[in-house]
């Protein structure tokens, strides 16, 4: 797992093995959990955020 220094990952977020979070990406698990699977690539300036307390966000694992 690699999170670039200019990325923001907060609260209930799990990032899988060999995954990358690139610059200016925001992953906010402040309302509910976010799970990013292994070998996933979150591109720069993207945002992943949960807006409802009973809805988990899953970014699936690559084969």
What is the rounded distance in angstroms from the CA atom of residue 40 to the CA atom of residue 59?
8
Higher pLDDT, 13 or 50: 13
What is the rounded distance in angstroms from the CA atom of residue 22 to the CA atom of residue 51?
22
Q: Which domain holds residue 32?
A: 2-59
Looking at residue 50, its pLDDT comes to 85
Structural domain total, the chain: 1
2-49 pLDDT tens trace? 999 999 999 999 999 999 999 999 999 988 899 999 999 999 999 999
pLDDT-based confidence at residue 62 (cuts at 50, 70, 90) = low
Closest CA to 57 of 3, 6, 2, 12: 12
Is residue 27 a contact partner of residue 8, using CB atoms and an 8 Å limit?
yes
Closest CA to 18 of 37, 45, 33: 37
């Amino acid at each position: 797992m690699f999170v670039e220094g200019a990325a923001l990952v907060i609260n209930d977020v799990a990032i899988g093995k060999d995954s990358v979070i690139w610059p200016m990406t925001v992953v906010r698990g402040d309302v509910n959990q976010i799970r990013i699977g292994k070998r996933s690539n979150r591109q720069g300036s993207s945002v992943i955020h949960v807006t409802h307390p009973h809805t988990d966000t899953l970014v699936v694992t690559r084969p």
